[in-house]
Amino acid sequence: MKKLIAAAVATSVSAIALADVSITGNLKTNYTHTDYQLSTKNDSDSFTHEGNLSIKGKNGDTSVVMNFGAIDGTTNTTNVTGTVTSEDVYLTTKIGDVNVKMGTWDNGDNSLRSSTRSSKVQMTTSLGGFNLGYLNGNGGTSSDSNQNDEITVGTSLGGVNVSYTAKDGGETIKASTSLGGVNVSYLGLPSDTANADRSLIELSTELSGVGIKIGKAEAESSARITGDSWLGDYERSTSTAGDSSTDAYDLTNGQDVTGIELSTSMAGNKVVFRNVSIDDVAGDDTSFNKVIVTRPLASGATLEVTYTDLADDAYTTTDSETLDIELAVKF
């Protein structure tokens, strides 16, 4: 019996030793105070907490990824308790020279459209200097985030990286290069719907230790910019689309966005300044200035302080100054 137990323990230990499993994650806590300029509107204070956990297991060229997330918050009027939810669950492997990805995952940050998780299968490979990709969205619709079929071709032409994606409802065109130390990128989302094209051009460089980024996003009269990542600030919220009275960063159809970002390091801190203007819809212009100071702490955590000054022509109830203090850690 002792020998059997010893053999079982040895087998278990061996299995653990051979397993290629990694666990990573992060947690951040934010305190936000908003001071509204309208005297009849009460200021607000809130605490929010967001955590993410990623488990990755690997066997040869095959990996399985499971991502989990949890968000909860407490404000002066409402208590909300979040639960841990499964987000991405997918498998990646190789079949010959073809990379295969199957499961459910977020389709990724995009400067012009919001991201969405959906079930899909993706295959990519390289052939004769071209990157080829195919994605099936498992019965998706003609929206940006979930397509029935997408076919992508990418290559480099004279130092310019270009890619073209054909999909139901529209296309995606990307181009990027560097000219004289200035990085230039273009993203276009032509649509089969009339007056619904969207595009973005960005320029970035560094001068004397100061990073400079300039962007111009444009939407036709029947299109709305709902990006997740461009300059970090005008993603579509959970409020009613186009209702700036509840969220000044939730754009309406036809609004364009122009922004500039300056970033540098000062006394061990990363300092970022952003100025963003949202316009091209009569009486509905919005602008804000934002200063972000980030500092790594000796404890392994990161402290980030953000000040935002917002002015909204259409809704004076949203004119405000906001201070956000974030404590975050990654592991």
Name, in order, each residue with C-beta under 8 angstroms of 44's C-beta and a sequence gap of 6 or more.
32, 33, 34, 36, 75, 76
Residue 162: closest CA among 193, 137, 129: 129
Do the beta carbons of residue 121 and residue 102 sit within 8 Å?
yes
Residue 266 lies in a domain: yes
Confirm whether 21 is domain-assigned: no
Within a domain: 85: no
How would you class 289 by CB atoms within 10 Å of its CB: exposed for 0-12, middle for 13-18, buried for 19 or more? middle
pLDDT given for residue 169 in this prediction: 81
The residues, any chain, with a CB within 8 Å of residue 149's CB and separated by 6 or more, are 134, 135, 136, 137, 167, 168
* Distance between first and last Cα of the chain: 42
Backbone φ and ψ of 255, nearest 5°:
-75, 135
Could you tell me if residue 235 is inside a domain?
yes
Q: What pLDDT is attached to residue 146? A: 47
**Rounded Cα gap, residues 37 and 285, in angstroms:** 17
DSSP code, position 240: P
Q: Could you list the residue range(s) of the whole structural domain that residue 199 is in?
A: 193-331
Name the residue type at position 2: K
**300 occurs within a structural domain:** yes
- The structure's pTM equals 0.82
Mean pLDDT computed over every residue of the chain: 84
CA dist 123 and 99 (Å) reads 6
With cut-offs at 50, 70 and 90, classify the pLDDT of residue 118. confident
Range ranked top by mean pLDDT from 88-102, 228-242, 274-288, 308-322: 88-102
Let me know if residue 146 belongs to a domain.
Answer: no
* Residue 212 belongs to some domain of the structure: yes
pLDDT at residue 96 in the model: 96
List all residues 6 or more positions away from 11 whose beta carbon is below 8 Å from its beta carbon: none
- Number of domains making up the chain: 1
Residue 81 has a pLDDT of 55
Contacts of 192 (CB under 8 A, 6+ apart): 142, 169, 170
Which residue's structure tokens are 């071709």?
153
- For the chain, give the percent of residues with pLDDT over 90: 57
In this structure, the number of other CB atoms found within 10 A of the CB of residue 258 comes to 17
The tens digit of pLDDT for each residue in 172-187 reads 999 999 999 999 999 9
Q: Do residues 215 and 201 make contact, with C-beta atoms less than 8 angstroms apart? A: yes
Residue 141 has pLDDT above 70, yes or no: no
Residue 232: what pLDDT? 66
Residue 4 pLDDT exceeds 90:
no
Length of the chain counted residue by residue? 331
Residue 172 lies in a domain: no
Position 142 scores a pLDDT of 42
The CATH code of the domain that includes 285 is: 2.40.160
